[in-house]
Amino acid sequence: MLEKDIEKVLVSEEQIRVRSTELGEILTAEYEGKNPLVLGILRGSVPFMAELIKHIDCHMEMDFMTVSSYHGGTKSSGEVKLIMDVDTAIRGRDILIVEDIIDTGRTLKYLKELLEHRGAKVKIVTLLDKPEGRIVDIDAQWTGFTIPNEFVVGFGLDYDNNYRNLPYVGVLKEEVYSK
């Protein structure tokens, strides 16, 4: 049903599973003994967060923040809004931000600066990186997949808050957002 709106699959369910397992193993080695706060950025990170943490085999805590910069369209508004903050003391803590995608980089730059200002040690893991979209200078320590400059949905990524529940990442047909 949703599939009819998808031009092509960019990253399959199987590829996401395999890569999340690999990243989980790398992160286990990185964070063993550090009890990191694994911080999912709502709403897009939810499916990747759920997949990734199954493969992190050390003590960790989980929390969430909500920020928004897209407000519905296909283009970043340029303004990042903090909608829900963390509920955890973070001074001196290792924080692993979990994101679905870095595009312009504005969301992650904003978050990283905010959390570092509060005294946390911040690293980033993202499922997708779209380097051609970058406007501000920020990079993740760990990336699942580097993708071309196309509007993608699925596995957490939305168009107008829809399509997040697709089990893969796909390119949305242009006719869906041009009408």
Three state DSSP letters for 105-153: CHHHHHHHHHHHHCCCEEEEEEEEECHHHCCCCCCCCEEEEECCCCCEE
CA distances for 61 relative to 27, 39, 90, 113, angstroms: 14, 8, 12, 21
CA distances from 43 to 18, 25, 83, 156 (A): 23, 24, 11, 7
Site for ligand PRP in 12-41 (CB under 6 A): 41
Interface residue with ligand PRP among 43, 49, 52, 125 (CB under 6 A) is 43
Look at the chain and count its residues: 179
From the list 44, 47, 105, 170, which residue makes contact with Mn ion (rule: CB under 5 A)? 44
- The residue nearest Mn ion at its CB is 44
Which ranges constitute the DSSP H helices of the chain?
13-31, 46-53, 106-117, 174-178
DSSP 104: S
Least separation in angstroms between residue 172's CB and ligand PRP is: 14
Query: Which residue stretch of 46-54, 78-86, 150-158, 168-176 sits at the interface with Mg ion (rule: CB under 5 A)?
Result: 150-158
Q: Is 5 a catalytic residue?
A: no
Of the listed 85, 94, 103, 158, which one is catalytic?
A: 103
Per CB under 5 A, does 105 bind Mn ion?
Answer: no
- Contact with ligand PRP (CB under 6 A): which of 7, 76, 145, 171? 76
Residues in contact with Mg ion by the rule CB under 5 A = 70, 158
Residues in contact with ligand PRP by the rule CB under 6 A = 41, 43-44, 68-70, 76, 99-107, 158
Residues in contact with Mn ion by the rule CB under 5 A = 44
Residues taking part in catalysis: 103
